Amino acid sequence: MSLNLEQYVSEFSTQNINGEHLLQLDGSKLKALGMTSSQDRAIIKKKLKEMKVSLEKARKAQEKMEKQREKLRKKEQEQLQRRLKKTDKCSPDATEGANEQ
């Protein structure tokens, strides 16, 4: 509707075309849905291409954030392990054992 193609809404609804299906449409499928105007198909295909590019950028950004979170988790885990090793070396139990020997 935002593309002023509301005449196709009823057919898209009847065919249960949702966002996921919409991204899979090509020229011939649009034609089969009753979109006889080549200009209308061109508008839809251009918008679909823009949407796919946006989705890909969002997916890559999500992957990048996940990698950064994983890197941070590993760094925090390493720091925690280092602290634990330091406390083990400095604990009274360890020094008592050394004094007894």
Structure tokens at 31: 């034609």
Can you give the pLDDT at residue 93?
A: 56
- How far is 61 from 97, CA to CA, in rounded Å? 53
Q: Is the distance from CB of 27 to CB of 45 less than 8 angstroms? A: yes
In sequence order, which residues have a C-beta less than 8 Å from that of residue 12 and are 6 or more positions away? 22, 33
- The pLDDT, as a whole number, for residue 91 is 65
The pLDDT of residue 96: 52
Kindly give the parts of the chain with pLDDT less than 50. Answer: 94-95
Q: Are 18 and 56 in contact (CB under 8 A)?
A: no
Q: What is the pLDDT of residue 30?
A: 93
Asked whether the whole model's pTM tops 0.75, one would answer no
